[in-house]
Chains A and B, each alone.
Chain A
Amino acid sequence: MNRITDDILFKVDKPSRYTGGEYNMKVKDPESVDIRFVHAFPDVYEVGMSHLGSRILYNTMNMRSDTYCERVYNPYPDMEKLMRENDITLTSIETGTPVKEFDILGFALLYEMSYTNLLNILDLSGIPLDSDSRSNDDPIVMAGGPCAVNPEPLHRFIDFFEIGEGEYMMDDVLSLYAEHKKKGFDRKAFLEDVARIEGIYVPSLYEVSYKEDGTIKEMVRKSEKAPEKVVKRIVPVLDEVAYPTDLIVPFCEPTHDRIMMETFRGCTRGCRFCMAGMIYRPVREKTTDKIMELTDIIMKETGYEEISLTSLSTCDHSNIQMLVENLVKKYADQKVSISLPSIRVDAFSVGLINEIQKIRKTGLTFAPEAGTQRMRDIINKNVTEEDILSATRHAFELGWSTIKLYTMIGLPYETLEDAKGIALLAERISKEYFRVPKENRNKNLKINLSTSIFIPKPFTPFQWVPQDKTENILEKVYEIKHNLKNRSIEFSWHESDLSLLEAIVSRGDRRVADLILAAFKNGAKMDGWTEYFNYPAWVKAMEETGIDPNFYAYRQREYDEILPWDFIDIGVRKDYLIEENEKAKTANVTRDCREGCLDCGVMDVYGREACFNGIILN
């Protein structure tokens, strides 16, 4: 097996994707540690380096003196081609060690359409794709991240999953691994043992059987050591867990090239389409003081010129106004800019952004998600048309003229009228612009109306509903286009072939693993990249494996059906999700749970103090 040399690097685009040596990259003597861990992000370097969770875990693991955590990414196709032609094995960024030689290989699962890249990384490393074909000489292959809440479509390939937040869980896993290594490592013994750690799922310790109609009959444990229910792990108090300050500063520009300052986890809004809003509960905030303190240290240790306050809905931080004011005041002289990546559709949030962008007004992004009030009520996006119009009017008055609107089509219980509503909403927003006196507004109104296709996800109230069929989607797209009159509105929407695959995989069971494997063998990888997306490879794989989109994507599931992810407990009860879906059918809204607990079940699992931890301190 060969390694990447200069003779390869000079032929590829952006070779610094592969060469590391970034400021704050962790340097350790591999001989001095017990555990060599390689963190793999199943996409290219620029995407992987933009993922906060990977950054946190990299630093958390490297805080341990017995562990050296390194990184690896999916090579870009130009590099992969040269690697395969020249029989080159995949190696870590830090020390250039072949991935196969590590003790543990850990994947981050951020989106389903990266799963073929995961197989590609295993393949380029010379590690058997199937868990049961690996020997004691192969690394233990684990995975975690938001998509791990439905681990089944990867059950063949992954030795164990971490469900939930990784910081403390990873520590437990590494300590156990070190113990096992000391007494002579045996895969099987380790996997049985690791299953006892809270939040860990070892697929090989369970067996699933199916009914004649294809739905799950039961899932049984093969070992007493495996828990019946795998309970999602969380970090109870955010202020107390280590947050990385000496972040790697990449040479090769990542997609998001800025400090990511996490402000809180979880979300109280309860949008019914949103998986993140359910699986990241309970809401836990970092205190303003802690955020200010950490930001200061990170600025000094990285030299970055931009801070992004990240969370699922940053304007919902209980002390956001003061936080933003403090940051603006503190960094005004240093030309440091602050960004809020996700803002609420209301005038308050627009005012907040105005604080930050007093001089330079870049585009403003709103996500009304749906066009009619009925539809917004169905998905429980607690935003009224008046909220949207007053927010945009306010933005136009303050000098913005470019606005981006995120919407979805293919939502459950949606009609053509609702699709039309998306166009009408954009039209009304453009009218708000012209209502602002000419001398008070900036020229060149531009509304970028972007529509994506809704995909039902596990652990949401919509986990039972069918994915909308392509012919309906096309009809709805036409309805939107047809009703757009104003030329300042630019409409874009995303293709539906990829959406169908995402729908199959995200609610897939164990049998979907065969589909992913077949698609990979047919040449599918980099599925999330339009230019590399190979739909025919997937179509062929469906034929080969008999995986039927009608069953996985287009089928209405019954409440009493055993869903592939039912054995995982994320805290939110199933009957709460059922209740929410029933309310959706009649366009009944549910309040933000800050205004009063809705008893979703999270407190029963994580304790009465679990929610809003930190808010009281603010």
Chain B
Amino acid sequence: MALYLIKYTKDDEIKFVGHLDLLKSIQRTITRAGIDIEYSKGYNPHMQMSIAQPLPVGSKSIGEYMTCGFKSNLKDEELLKALNEVTPKGIRYLSVKKVPDNMKTPMALLNSVESKISIPGNEELFNEISTIFHGNSPMEIKVKSKKGVESVKDLRPLILDYSLEYLNGKIKVTLVTKAGSEDHLSLNHVLEYLDQNTGGLDPDKFIGIERLEMFTQFEGNRISIEEYAKVKYDDEF
């Protein structure tokens, strides 16, 4: 097997495609590209693919990651070209990098994500939101566990960085938040908090969410997963 780290997008025109449908679409793109992918052994074989984190319906991204196990070694650039030739509009493959078979999965590497939230609203709402982010009191919401147990969660420690901007009737909130299997911040919780602690978000307006990048922690630094593979494995491959 030859393992590859692939970075791709989910653009605006297909933001309403669900995670599983997107996955299937990528699998068919690989088949069309004529790339022989490895299959899992067993009763119901499936392609050797590992995705960093599902993107909700309605969200778009310019920083998605997956690893794929292919049957033979191919040049990174050739793979990239082959995929982009047969991909539907809205999924663009940005980079391909061969990595060792034992590299951690993108999900295991994932430590934080950078996202841009676009909230329709007026300047008043913008000011309210700014006050919340600039402050330092806990951002507490009630959350329910899968078993139905209610608890209070403070969102603030999970927000690593933020910036705010008001543009054409939209409040743009760019956030770097904890993500992955340990500490994870759901952006829906952020929106819920903002809704409860401002004059309220308009329930009839679509709130755009764009994932900009996914990061891992490497030698004390926050670097993108793409960067990580480059720094760590460039000599080997």
Q: Do A251 and B32 touch (CB < 8 A)? A: no
Q: Distance (Å) between the CB of A548 and the closest chain B CB?
A: 47
Q: Do A253 and B14 touch (CB < 8 A)? A: no
Q: Do A251 and B31 touch (CB < 8 A)? A: no
Cα(A359)–Cα(B44), bound, Å: 10
Q: For the complex, is A249 an interface residue (Cβ under 8 Å from B)? A: yes
Q: A-facing mask of B8-22, CB < 8 A → 1, else 0?
A: 000001101110011
Which residues of B have CB within 8 Å of A359? 43
Which residues of A have CB within 8 Å of B206? 5-7, 9-10
Which residues of A have CB within 8 Å of B34? 300
Q: Distance (Å) between the CB of A17 and the closest chain B CB?
A: 9
Cα(A15)–Cα(B27), bound, Å: 21
Which residues of B have CB within 8 Å of A6? 58, 206, 208
Q: Do B44 and A22 touch (CB < 8 A)? A: no
Q: Do A7 and B205 touch (CB < 8 A)? A: yes
Q: For the complex, is B124 an interface residue (Cβ under 8 Å from A)? A: no
Which residues of A have CB within 8 Å of B31? 299, 303-305, 334
From A19, A301, A305, give the contact of B14 (CB < 8 A): A19
Q: For the complex, is B144 an interface residue (Cβ under 8 Å from A)? A: no
From A9, A22, A299, give the contact of B16 (CB < 8 A): A9
Q: Do A14 and B44 touch (CB < 8 A)? A: no
Q: Do A335 and B24 touch (CB < 8 A)? A: no
Cα(A7)–Cα(B14), bound, Å: 15
Interface residues of A in 317-337 (CB under 8 A from B): 334-335
Which residues of B have CB within 8 Å of A305? 27-28, 31
Q: For the complex, is B90 an interface residue (Cβ under 8 Å from A)? A: yes
Q: Do B28 and A303 touch (CB < 8 A)? A: yes
From A5, A10, A249, A300, give the contact of B25 (CB < 8 A): A249
Q: Do A23 and B16 touch (CB < 8 A)? A: no
Which residues of A have CB within 8 Å of B88? 21-23, 249, 251
Interface residues of A in 383-436 (CB under 8 A from B): none
Q: Do B204 and A14 touch (CB < 8 A)? A: no
Q: B-facing mask of A463-477, CB < 8 A → 1, else 0?
A: 000000000000000
Q: Which residue of A lies closest to B28 (CB)?
A: A303
Q: For the complex, is B30 an interface residue (Cβ under 8 Å from A)? A: yes
Which residues of A have CB within 8 Å of B174? none
Cα(A7)–Cα(B119), bound, Å: 12
Known A14-B18, A301-B32, A302-B32: A360·B43 in contact at CB below 8 Å:
yes
Q: B-facing mask of A193-215, CB < 8 A → 1, else 0?
A: 00000000000000000000000
Interface residues on A, range: 20 to 34
Q: Do B13 and A21 touch (CB < 8 A)? A: yes
Q: Do B28 and A335 touch (CB < 8 A)? A: no
Q: For the complex, is B45 an interface residue (Cβ under 8 Å from A)? A: yes
Q: Do A335 and B39 touch (CB < 8 A)? A: yes
Q: Do B28 and A253 touch (CB < 8 A)? A: no
Q: For the complex, is B29 an interface residue (Cβ under 8 Å from A)? A: yes
Q: For the complex, is A252 an interface residue (Cβ under 8 Å from B)? A: yes
Q: A-facing mask of B89-130, CB < 8 A → 1, else 0?
A: 110000000000000000000000000000000000000000
Q: Which residue of B lies closest to A20 (CB)?
A: B13
Interface of B is mostly: loop
Q: Distance (Å) between the CB of A85 and the closest chain B CB?
A: 11
Interface residues of B in 1-59 (CB under 8 A from A): 13-14, 16-18, 21-22, 24-25, 27-32, 34, 39, 43-45, 57-58
Q: Distance (Å) between the CB of A2 and the closest chain B CB?
A: 13
Q: Which residue of B lies closest to A250 (CB)?
A: B21
Which residues of A have CB within 8 Å of B29? 23, 303
Q: B-facing mask of A239-257, CB < 8 A → 1, else 0?
A: 0000000000101110000
Q: For the complex, is A483 an interface residue (Cβ under 8 Å from B)? A: no
Q: Distance (Å) between the CB of B208 and the closest chain A CB?
A: 7
Q: Do B205 and A360 touch (CB < 8 A)? A: no
Q: Distance (Å) between the CB of A399 and the closest chain B CB?
A: 13
Cα(A7)–Cα(B118), bound, Å: 13
Cα(A359)–Cα(B39), bound, Å: 15
Which residues of A have CB within 8 Å of B27? 303, 305
Which residues of B have CB within 8 Å of A360? 43-44
Q: Do A249 and B14 touch (CB < 8 A)? A: no
Q: Which residue of A lies closest to B12 (CB)?
A: A6
Q: Do B14 and A251 touch (CB < 8 A)? A: yes
Cα(A303)–Cα(B24), bound, Å: 10
Name which of B14, B17, B44, B58 has the most chain A CB atoms within 10 A of its CB.
B17
From A9, A14, A21, A299, give the contact of B89 (CB < 8 A): A21
Which residues of B have CB within 8 Å of A251? 14, 17, 21-22, 25, 88
Known A7-B205, A335-B45: A23·B28 in contact at CB below 8 Å:
yes
Which residues of A have CB within 8 Å of B39? 335
Q: Distance (Å) between the CB of B122 and the closest chain A CB?
A: 17
Known A9-B206, A22-B88, A335-B39: A300·B32 in contact at CB below 8 Å:
yes
Name which of A22, A303, A334 has the most chain B CB atoms within 10 A of its CB.
A303
Q: For the complex, is A365 an interface residue (Cβ under 8 Å from B)? A: no
Q: For the complex, is A496 an interface residue (Cβ under 8 Å from B)? A: no
Q: Which residue of A lies closest to B29 (CB)?
A: A303
Which residues of A have CB within 8 Å of B43? 359-360
Q: Distance (Å) between the CB of A233 and the closest chain B CB?
A: 35
From B17, B21, B28, give the contact of A304 (CB < 8 A): B28
Q: Distance (Å) between the CB of B13 and the closest chain A CB?
A: 5
Interface residues of A in 227-278 (CB under 8 A from B): 249, 251-253
Which residues of A have CB within 8 Å of B13? 19, 21
Q: Distance (Å) between the CB of B223 and the closest chain A CB?
A: 32
Which residues of B have CB within 8 Å of A303? 27-32, 86
Q: Distance (Å) between the CB of B91 and the closest chain A CB?
A: 9
Q: Which residue of A lies closest to B39 (CB)?
A: A335
Q: Do A15 and B16 touch (CB < 8 A)? A: yes
Q: For the complex, is A522 an interface residue (Cβ under 8 Å from B)? A: no
Cα(A22)–Cα(B22), bound, Å: 11
Q: A-facing mask of B54-93, CB < 8 A → 1, else 0?
A: 0001100000000000000000000000000011111000
Q: Distance (Å) between the CB of B72 and the closest chain A CB?
A: 13
Which residues of B have CB within 8 Å of A21? 13-14, 88-90
Q: For the complex, is A16 an interface residue (Cβ under 8 Å from B)? A: yes
Which residues of A have CB within 8 Å of B17? 16, 19, 251-252
Q: Distance (Å) between the CB of A339 and the closest chain B CB?
A: 16
Which residues of A have CB within 8 Å of B90? 21
Cα(A19)–Cα(B57), bound, Å: 13
Q: Distance (Å) between the CB of B121 and the closest chain A CB?
A: 14
Cα(A433)–Cα(B162), bound, Å: 67
Q: Distance (Å) between the CB of B45 and the closest chain A CB?
A: 6
Cα(A6)–Cα(B25), bound, Å: 22
Q: Distance (Å) between the CB of B34 and the closest chain A CB?
A: 8
In the assembled complex, 25 residue pairs joining A and B whose CB atoms fall closer than 8 Å, in A order, are A6-B208, A7-B205, A9-B58, A10-B58, A14-B18, A19-B13, A21-B89, A23-B25, A23-B29, A23-B86, A249-B28, A251-B25, A252-B17, A253-B21, A253-B24, A299-B31, A300-B32, A301-B32, A303-B29, A303-B31, A303-B32, A303-B86, A304-B31, A305-B27, A335-B39
**Which B residues contact A (CB, under 8 angstroms)?**
13-14, 16-18, 21-22, 24-25, 27-32, 34, 39, 43-45, 57-58, 86-90, 204-208
Q: A15-B16, A22-B88, A251-B14 are in contact. List 10 more A-B contacts (CB 8 A).
A: A6-B58, A9-B58, A10-B206, A15-B58, A21-B89, A301-B32, A303-B31, A304-B31, A305-B27, A334-B31
**Which A residues contact B (CB, under 8 angstroms)?**
5-7, 9-10, 14-16, 19, 21-23, 249, 251-253, 299-305, 334-335, 359-360
- For the complex of A and B, the 8 pairs showing the least CB-CB separation, nearest first, are A303-B28, A303-B31, A15-B16, A23-B88, A303-B32, A6-B206, A251-B17, A10-B206
